[in-house]
């Protein structure tokens, strides 16, 4: 898969230089520099108490932000199924059947457009994503048998091959941002090929999507293929 990098640009504003006593004494002197428009240091002066206070507050904010990974901003989303809010945690959620924008590489001969997709189950941490499909358009239970997601670029175990997509999930991402980001990465990327001879549907996947895209019909649930996985198997 591939997508466009939309990173945020940061500009340097100031710099600190730490001086240590040559005699080996445990003394330190800190000098503060402003940086001009070209990034050159100007206005050198000893670090003031006010500047030190602002630096301390900024570092504390960053430290607290790192602990906020997967913390909900408000009421827990109703489509959340399971949450492990540890530093290397993960989340499990589902989305109902509906229309999504789909992108395909030219080699597939499929147009990039909006089409119906089935209900999906998502499991992700900061680095990887797995996606499955649901045979019914309702909230699953622990015993629900999952189906393979009817898309390209997926392994048989549900893991998505993100290819060259630059996945950047912030260490301080809230639960809502985390879920939204992964769904955006997945659907804003280009589907290109089957992996490891794994066909996730009953028939030919290319012909199936060609039909759906031409007719605009809802996704035909009878084409889904059951995976040997229950939802409870993902609760790890």
What strand order describes the sheet that includes 120-124? 80-84, 90-95, 120-124, 129-133, 145-148, 226-230
CB 16 within 8 A of CB 1: no
- Check whether 38 has a pLDDT greater than 80: no
Average pLDDT of the chain, as a whole number: 87
Q: For residues 80 and 179, what is the distance between their CA atoms, to the nearest angstrom? A: 9
What percent of the chain clears pLDDT 70, i.e. is strictly above it?
A: 87
Number of other residues whose CB lies within 10 A of the CB of residue 28: 9
> Residue 160 corresponds to which tokens in the numbers above?
């998505």
Who contacts 49 (Cβ-Cβ below 8 Å, separation ≥6)? Answer: none
Rounded average pLDDT over 30-40: 80
Distance separating alpha carbons of residues 198 and 123, to the nearest angstrom:
20
Chain segment 54-110, per-residue pLDDT in tens = 776 665 544 444 567 898 988 999 999 999 987 788 999 999 999 999 999 999 999
pLDDT-based confidence at 42, cuts 50/70/90?
confident
49: pLDDT confidence band, cut at 50, 70 and 90?
Answer: confident
Residue 58's pLDDT is 62
Q: What is the pLDDT of residue 62?
A: 47
Closest listed residue to residue 179, CA positions, set 165, 189, 166, 169: 169
Quick one: pLDDT band at residue 5, thresholds 50, 70, 90?
Answer: very low
Write down the pLDDT at residue 164: 82
Q: Name every residue whose Cβ is closer than 8 Å to that of residue 190 and which is 6 or more positions away in sequence.
A: 1, 2, 3, 103, 104, 105
Residue 89: is it exposed, middle or buried by C-beta count within 10 angstroms (0-12/13-18/19+)?
middle
- Is the pLDDT assigned to residue 29 strictly greater than 80? no
Under 8 Å between Cβ of 223 and 201: yes
Domain extents in the chain = 14-66, 80-234
Higher pLDDT, 62 or 228: 228
Backbone angles phi, psi at 129, to 5 degrees: -135, 140
Is residue 8 pLDDT above 60, yes or no? no
pLDDT in tens, 131-168: 999 999 999 999 999 999 999 999 999 999 998 888 99
């Amino acid at each position: 898969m591939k997508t466009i990098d939309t990173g945020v640009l940061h500009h340097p504003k100031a710099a600190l230089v730490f001086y240590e006593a040559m005699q080996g004494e445990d003394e330190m002197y800190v000098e503060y520099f402003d940086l001009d428009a070209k990034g050159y240091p100007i206005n050198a002066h000893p670090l003031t108490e006010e500047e030190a206070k602002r630096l301390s507050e900024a570092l504390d904010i960053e430290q607290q932000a790192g602990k906020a990974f997967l913390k909900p901003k408000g009421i827990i989303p109703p489509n959340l199924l399971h949450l492990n809010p540890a530093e290397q945690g993960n989340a499990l959620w589902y989305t109902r059947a509906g229309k999504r924008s789909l992108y395909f590489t030219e080699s597939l001969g499929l147009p990039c457009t909006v089409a119906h997709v089935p209900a999906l189950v998502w499991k992700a941490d900061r680095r990887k994503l797995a996606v499955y499909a649901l045979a019914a358009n309702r909230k699953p239970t622990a015993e629900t048998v999952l189906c393979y997601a009817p898309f390209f670029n997926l392994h048989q175990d549900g893991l998505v091959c993100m290819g060259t997509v630059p996945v950047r999930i912030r260490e301080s991402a809230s639960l809502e941002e985390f879920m939204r980001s992964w769904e955006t990465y997945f659907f804003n990327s280009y589907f290109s090929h089957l992996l490891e001879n794994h066909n996730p549907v009953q028939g030919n996947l290319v012909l199936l999507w060609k039909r759906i895209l031409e007719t605009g019909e809802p996704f035909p649930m009878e084409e889904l293929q059951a995976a040997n996985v229950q939802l409870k198997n993902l609760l790890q």
